[in-house]
């Protein structure tokens, strides 16, 4: 059987858009083009109606209400607005924030800037070997002047899902605002801002079969009412929190993407998890010394992150040229540092260099999984035959005792 290549297994980088989402967007480019803030003609009303519908659809997916949804350009903007908005609005209350070590890069970068330029203090909370944050550790990191806790709901590299309800409870008890980057979790696993005690939550359309360049920030209105200092000033759109003409087609697409995820989640998460397990088991059955990074009980259904001992990640990807994947290897980034997420698990730098993320999704097929398993096995055999480390390990040398000349 022939199979169409290249095969896409990088859904956590971005997803293809669901054709139904495109259908939902199409009317809002040419025909229904009005400005949703135009209050005195039908063009504006039609656009407003589309935006209102999308607001309901987004709110429904995460258990919030429509009036708590602020549309943004994506998860990164939502992160900036949430964290900087809180830092500015609650400056008099305190200058301290708490973050998990495996939060997303934009969260860590925003906090770094606030630390450097705005006199904010940040406490970073570690994770266990599976990438989970203990609510107790969050509690111990809190201070009287803490104004925000940020814990990413599900990690983008290892797929570990956090115990949001437990962390939310800790934040509630302390009266601290709880923010989460849910861009990897929303639409894949159930999200409920009420049950999880979440005050601020960001999502991105392009991670859930919606369009790129659009996202949403949930901002709690009751118990407590969270207030944010806007980071983009202008016409006072989105209740003053995010000025700028709303991207109506994008927002309509985001709404439809959320509605589809809500409708399909139960069935889809089972199907995709079964494919993920088939992939993982297929590889583990044929290759020795492969580690699963992350938490096999609490993880996203569509992710597996594997470390292939004695093989460098980028060379693995090179061997699988018909498959789109991503690696924690330093060689695939500009920084020359291996993944900070994998390192935070206590995994050796060597194994961090050897990690590969497989992320599946709505359009992944069993044939594709079987093809990828075969390619992985071939690549592992090719590269291990070439690996001096594999040779040394097989000779019984403990690599951790070797004095390397490059050290």
Partner 1 sequence: MAYSEKVLDHYNNPRNMGSFGKDEDGVGTGIVGAPECGDVMKLQVKINEDGVIEDAKFKTFGCGSAIASSSLATEWLKGRTVEQAMAIKNTEIVDELDLPPVKIHCSVLAEDAIKAAVSDYVDNKDKNED
Binding mask 110-139 for partner 1 (x = CB under 8 A): ------------------------------
Cα(329)–Cα(307) distance, integer angstroms: 10
- Residues 389 and 403: their CA atoms lie apart, in Å, by 13
Q: State which residue, 337 or 367, has the beta carbon closest to partner 1.
A: 337
Contact between 86 and 99 under an 8 Å Cβ cutoff? The reply is: no
90 is an interface residue for partner 1 by CB under 8 A: no
> What residues numbered 358-387 form the site for partner 1, per CB under 8 A?
385-387
Could you tell me the smallest distance in angstroms from the CB atom of residue 352 to partner 1? 8
Closest CA to 157 of 329, 307, 357, 291: 357
Question: What distance in Å separates the CA atoms of residue 28 and residue 253, rounded to the nearest whole number?
Answer: 10
Residue 4 CA to residue 14 CA, distance in Å, equals 19
State in angstroms the smallest separation of the CB of 330 from partner 1. 5
Which residues pair with residue 203 across a beta bridge? 216
What does DSSP assign to residue 26? G
Considering only residues 31, 388, 396, 398, which one is a binding residue for partner 1 as defined by CB under 8 A?
388
In b/e form, how buried is each residue of 359-395, taking b as 16+ CB within 10 angstroms?
bbbbebeeebbbbbbebbeebbeebbeebebbeebee
Q: How far is the CB of 315 from partner 1 (least distance, A)?
A: 5
Minimum gap (Å) between residue 11 Cβ and partner 1: 22
User: Would you say how long the chain is, in residues?
Assistant: 407
Report residue 342 CA to chain centroid gap: 15
CB nearer partner 1, residue 35 or residue 382: 382
Classify 319 as helix, strand or coil. Answer: helix
Four-residue CA torsion sign, 381, 384, 385, 390 = negative
* Residue nearer to partner 1 on the CB measure, 40 or 335: 335
- Residue selected from 101, 166, 229, 389 as contacting partner 1 according to rule CB under 8 A: 389
Beta carbon nearer to partner 1, 139 or 384: 384
Instruction: Report the residue from 106, 249, 338, 361 that binds partner 1 according to the rule CB under 8 A.
Output: 338
User: Catalytic pick from 258, 261, 287, 331?
Assistant: 331
Near partner 1 in 283-322, by CB under 8 A:
310-312, 314-315, 318-319
Applying CB under 8 A, among 19, 144, 396, 406 the residue interacting with partner 1 is 406
Report the C-alpha gap between 1 and 166 in whole angstroms.
49
Measured from the CB atom, the residue of 109 and 378 that comes closer to partner 1 is 378
Stretch that binds partner 1, among 47-55, 57-65, 284-292, 325-333 (CB under 8 A): 325-333
Helix (H, G, I), strand (E, B) or coil at 121: strand
- 221, 331, 340, 370: which one contacts partner 1 (CB under 8 A)? 331
Least separation in angstroms between residue 82's CB and partner 1 is 34
Closer Cβ to partner 1, 72 or 315, answer by number:
315
Give how many residues touch partner 1 by CB under 8 A: 28
Residues 339-358 vs partner 1: string with x where CB under 8 A? ---------xxx--x-----
Biggest distance spanned by C-alpha atoms of the chain: 80
331 is catalytic: yes
Burial class (CB in 10 A: 0-12, 13-18, 19+), 121: middle
**Cα gap 15→210, rounded to integer Å:** 8
Closest approach of Cβ 13 to partner 1, in Å? 16
Q: How far is the CB of 8 from partner 1 (least distance, A)?
A: 18
Question: d(Cα 155, Cα 168) in Å, to the nearest integer?
Answer: 17
Task: Give catalytic residue positions.
Answer: 331
The residues binding partner 1 (CB under 8 A) are 310-312, 314-315, 318-319, 329-331, 334, 338, 348-350, 353, 385-391, 399, 404-407
């Amino acid at each position: 059987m022939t199979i169409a290549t290249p095969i896409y297994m990088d859904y956590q980088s971005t997803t293809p858009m669901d054709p139904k989402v495109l259908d939902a967007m199409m009317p809002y480019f040419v025909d229904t083009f009005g400005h949703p803030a135009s209050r005195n003609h039908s063009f504006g009303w039609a656009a407003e109606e589309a935006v209102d519908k999308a607001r309901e659809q987004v709110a429904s997916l995460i258990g919030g209400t429509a009036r708590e949804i602020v549309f943004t350009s994506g998860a990164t903007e939502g992160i900036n607005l949430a964290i900087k908005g809180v830092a500015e609005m609650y400056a008099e209350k305190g200058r301290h924030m708490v973050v998990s070590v495996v939060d997303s890069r934009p969260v860590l970068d925003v906090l770094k800037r606030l630390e450097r330029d705005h006199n904010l203090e940040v406490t970073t909370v570690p994770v266990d070997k599976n990438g989970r944050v203990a609510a107790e550790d969050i509690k111990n990191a809190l201070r009287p002047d803490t104004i925000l806790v940020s814990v990413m709901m599900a990690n983008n590299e290892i797929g570990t899902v956090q115990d949001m309800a437990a962390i939310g409870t800790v934040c509630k008890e302390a009266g601290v605002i709880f923010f989460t980057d849910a861009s990897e979790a929303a639409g894949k696993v159930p999200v409920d801002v009420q049950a999880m005690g979440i005050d601020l939550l960001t999502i991105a359309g392009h991670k859930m079969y919606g369009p790129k360049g659009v996202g949403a920030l949930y901002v709690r209105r009751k118990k407590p009412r969270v207030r944010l200092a806007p980071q983009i000033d202008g016409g006072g759109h989105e209740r003053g929190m995010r000025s700028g003409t709303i991207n109506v087609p994008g927002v309509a697409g985001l709404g439809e993407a959320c509605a589809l995820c809500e409708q399909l989640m139960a069935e889809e998460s089972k199907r995709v998890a079964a494919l993920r397990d088939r992939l993982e088991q297929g590889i583990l059955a044929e290759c020795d010394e492969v580690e699963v990074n992350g938490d096999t009980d609490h993880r996203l259904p569509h992710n597996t992150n594997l470390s292939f001992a004695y093989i460098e990640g980028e060379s693995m990807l090179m061997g699988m040229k018909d498959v789109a994947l991503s690696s924690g290897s330093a060689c695939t980034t500009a920084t020359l540092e291996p993944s900070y997420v994998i390192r935070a698990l206590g995994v050796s730098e060597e194994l961090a260099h050897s990690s590969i993320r497989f992320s599946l999704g709505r359009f992944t097929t069993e044939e594709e999984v079987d093809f990828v398993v075969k390619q992985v096995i071939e690549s592992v055999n090719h590269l291990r035959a070439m690996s001096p480390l594999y040779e040394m390990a097989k000779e019984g040398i403990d690599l951790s005792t070797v004095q390397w000349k490059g050290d």
